[in-house]
C-alpha cells in the first residue's frame, strides 16, 4: 500500500511549523505502511545549517564522536564537522562541498550506506512505527520550506532502513514511491550500461536514479518525470522534490491514490485526504486528484527565502 505526504510552504510565516504540520499529515498515512518510514526535510537550520553540506548514513559502525574525529582528520584543516544519530540514521554536516564529504565518508566507512546528500535536505529513515520514528527525529520541532514523508509497506525488497523512502541519489533530489515497477530490472541494466551505479535491488531506487540521470543531462524535473512515464511500467504515484520544487505524477491508469490541496500559503499532496484534513486553511483550499499520467510541479518563487531561513 504505502503512504505519501508532502508539503511545500509558500508563506514564510508558516515555515517555523513545517514539522508540526508534517507530523499531522504523517498521522493520516501511518495506517498505509507500518514497517518503516522516512522523511526529507528541507531548510531546517538545525538539521542542515547554512554553509554546510549534509550526508545521511545508514549501517554506520562507529559512534558519532569517533566518526566526527576521523572526518576532521581527512577533511581540510578547519572544516567544521557535526555527527548526530537519529535512530538508525547517522546525519553528518560539514563545511565542505557535499561531493567532498561523500567521498571522505565512503573512504572511512566503506560498508555504510549513503542514503542522503545535499546542502538543503536532511533525509531521515528507519524501520519501525512511523510515529516512533517521527519522535526519534523530533519532527514536531522542525522548521523549513518543504518536507516529504513516506510510510512503507514493503513489496519489492526487504524491510530495512535503506529500503525505506525517500531515495536521495543526487544532491537535494528526493523521491518517494507508492506502487511497484515491473520492468525495473531491465531499466537498471540499461542505466548501468550508461555508467549509473546502484545501492540496492529496490525498484524505487531505479526511478530515483533515472530522474537524477535525466536531470544531470539537463532535463527539468517535469521533463524527467514525463520521460519516466514513457519508460517505466507498473503502478506508481511518485513525489519528487528539489530544494525549490515539488512534483507529483501518477501512472497512466492511476492505480495508486493521490490528492492535492493548494492554498496561497502552501501546496500539499497526500495518499489520502485525511492526511490533509488538519492543515490550516484546508476549508478554503483547492482540492483535486491529479489526473493520470500528468506531471504536476510547484516551484517556490524565490530560492533566497530558503537560504535565509
Partner 1 sequence: MTALTSTLTPIQTFDLESATVRELNAALHEAADATSWVVENPAGQHNIAVGIDREVDVTVNGHVGYYFAGMHQRGTVTVHGSAGVGLAENIMSGTVHVTGDASQATGATGHGGLVIVDGNTGARCGISMKGVDIVVGGDIGHASAFMAQAGRLVVCGDAGEGLGDSIYEARIYVKGTVASLGADCIEKPLRAEHRAELAELLTAAGRDDDPALFKRYGSGRTLYHFAAANSHAY
Q: Which sequence positions are flagged as catalytic?
A: 2
Residue 243 per-residue DSSP state: S
Site for partner 1, residues 275 to 294, rule: CB under 8 A: 275-278, 287-289, 292
Distance CA 158, CA 151 (A): 14
Q: Is 273 in the site for partner 1 (CB under 8 A)?
A: yes
CB of 142 to partner 1, least distance (A): 23
Neighbour count for residue 195 (Cβ, 10 Å): 7
Q: Which stretch binds partner 1 (CB under 8 A): 146-154, 213-221, 225-233, 268-276?
A: 268-276
Distance CA 103, CA 101 (A): 5
CB of 251 to partner 1, least distance (A): 11
Residue 270 and residue 31 in contact, taking contact as beta carbons nearer than 8 Å? no
Closer to partner 1 by Cβ: residue 23 or 209? 23
Q: Which stretch binds partner 1 (CB under 8 A): 32-40, 44-52, 128-136, 251-259?
A: 251-259
Could you tell me which of 242, 237, 168, 234 has the C-alpha nearest to residue 205? 168
Q: Is 34 in the site for partner 1 (CB under 8 A)?
A: no
**Residue count, binding to partner 1 (CB under 8 A):** 16
Q: Judged by CB under 8 A, which of 116, 144, 179, 257 binds partner 1?
A: 257
CB of 8 to partner 1, least distance (A): 20
Q: Is 20 in the site for partner 1 (CB under 8 A)?
A: no
CB of 282 to partner 1, least distance (A): 9
Closer to partner 1 by Cβ: residue 13 or 253? 253
Q: Is 254 in the site for partner 1 (CB under 8 A)?
A: yes
Q: Judged by CB under 8 A, which of 28, 33, 126, 130 binds partner 1?
A: 28
Q: For residues 57-77, b (16+ Cβ closer than 10 Å) or e, as one string?
A: bbebebeeeebbebbbeebee
CB of 250 to partner 1, least distance (A): 10
Q: Which long-range contacts (CB under 8 A, 24 or more apart) does 267-270 make?
A: 267/7, 267/8, 267/10, 267/298, 268/5, 268/6, 268/7, 268/8, 268/25, 269/4, 269/5, 269/6, 269/239, 270/3, 270/4, 270/5, 270/6, 270/25, 270/28, 270/29
C-alpha torsion sign, points 117, 239, 135, 111: negative
Could you tell me which of 218, 139, 233, 250 has the C-alpha nearest to residue 186? 233
Q: Judged by CB under 8 A, which of 13, 77, 193, 253 binds partner 1?
A: 253
Closer to partner 1 by Cβ: residue 84 or 274? 274
CB of 290 to partner 1, least distance (A): 10
Q: Is 19 in the site for partner 1 (CB under 8 A)?
A: no
Distance CA 100, CA 103 (A): 5
Closer to partner 1 by Cβ: residue 96 or 276? 276
Closer to partner 1 by Cβ: residue 208 or 267? 267
Residue 117 and residue 171 in contact, taking contact as beta carbons nearer than 8 Å? yes
Closer to partner 1 by Cβ: residue 128 or 292? 292
**Cα angle 188-192-198, degrees, rounded to a multiple of 5:** 70
**Cα angle 48-197-219, degrees, rounded to a multiple of 5:** 70
Interface residue list for partner 1 (CB under 8 A) = 28, 253-254, 257, 259, 272-278, 287-289, 292
Amino acid at each position: 500500500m504505502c503512504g505519501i505526504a508532502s508539503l511545500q510552504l509558500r508563506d514564510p510565516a508558516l515555515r517555523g511549523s513545517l514539522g508540526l504540520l508534517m507530523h499531522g499529515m504523517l498521522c493520516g498515512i501511518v495506517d498505509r505502511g507500518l514497517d518503516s518510514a522516512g522523511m526529507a526535510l528541507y531548510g531546517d537550520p538545525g538539521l542542515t545549517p547554512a554553509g554546510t553540506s549534509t550526508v545521511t548514513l545508514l549501517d554506520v559502525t562507529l559512534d558519532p564522536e569517533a566518526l566526527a574525529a576521523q572526518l576532521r582528520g581527512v577533511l581540510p584543516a578547519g572544516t567544521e564537522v557535526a555527527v548526530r544519530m537519529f535512530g538508525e540514521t547517522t546525519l553528518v554536516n560539514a563545511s565542505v562541498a557535499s561531493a567532498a564529504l561523500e567521498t571522505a565518508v565512503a573512504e572511512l566507512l566503506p560498508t555504510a550506506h549513503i542514503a542522503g546528500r545535499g546542502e538543503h535536505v536532511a533525509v531521515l529513515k528507519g524501520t519501525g512505527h512511523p510515529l516512533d520514528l517521527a519522535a526519534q527525529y523530533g519532527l514536531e520541532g522542525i522548521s523549513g520550506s518543504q518536507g516529504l514523508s513516506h510510510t512503507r509497506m514493503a513489496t519489492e525488497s526487504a524491510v530495512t532502513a535503506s529500503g525505506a523512502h525517500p531515495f536521495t541519489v543526487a544532491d537535494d533530489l528526493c523521491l518517494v514511491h507508492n506502487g511497484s515497477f515491473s520492468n525495473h530490472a531491465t531499466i537498471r541494466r540499461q542505466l548501468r550500461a550508461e555508467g549509473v551505479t546502484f545501492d540496492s535491488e529496490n525498484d524505487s531506487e531505479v526511478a530515483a536514479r533515472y530522474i537524477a540521470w535525466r536531470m544531470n543531462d539537463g532535463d527539468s524535473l517535469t521533463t524527467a518525470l514525463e520521460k519516466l512515464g514513457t519508460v517505466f511500467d507498473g503502478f506508481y504515484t511518485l513525489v519528487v522534490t528539489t530544494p525549490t520544487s515539488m512534483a507529483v505524477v501518477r501512472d497512466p491508469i492511476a492505480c495508486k491514490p493521490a490528492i492535492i490541496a493548494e492554498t496561497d500559503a502552501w501546496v500539499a499532496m497526500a495518499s489520502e485526504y485525511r492526511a490533509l484534513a488538519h492543515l490550516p486553511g484546508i476549508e478554503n483550499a483547492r482540492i483535486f486528484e491529479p489526473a493520470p499520467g500528468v506531471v504536476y510541479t510547484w516551484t517556490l518563487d524565490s530560492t533566497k527565502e530558503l537560504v535565509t531561513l
